[in-house]
Amino acid sequence: KPKYHLLCHAKLWIQRYGILSNSHVETEESINAEIRSSLEHTNQQAPSKDLAYRYASAEGLRFVAQGRV
C-alpha cells in the first residue's frame, strides 16, 4: 500500500538534500523493452542463459568497436 503522506514531505527533502542524481529511469525502461523482445527469440529452456550470452556478445563487440583491445 503506497504511503501518500510521504509525498507531503518531498518538497522539504528536495530543499534540504537536493534532487537525486540517479533518479532517471528512461534507460532502465528501454532495457526492459529490449529484454522482453529478446525473450521472444529464445528457446524458453534457459532464457537467462540466452540473454546473458546475447548481452555478453554485444558488450564484447562494443569493446572491440571502441578500440579498447
Return the domain boundaries, the chain.
43-69
What is the phi-psi region of residue 42: left when phi exceeds 0, alpha when psi lies from -120 to 50, beta otherwise?
Answer: beta
* Structure-block grid coordinates of residue 38: 529478446
pTM (2 d.p.)? 0.47
* Confidence at residue 10, expressed as pLDDT on a 0 to 100 scale: 85
Beta-carbon contacts of 39 under 8 Å, excluding residues fewer than 6 positions away, are: 47, 51
* Confidence at residue 65, expressed as pLDDT on a 0 to 100 scale: 92
- Give the tens place of pLDDT for each residue, 2-60: 778 888 888 888 888 887 776 666 777 777 888 888 888 777 788 888 888 888 888 89
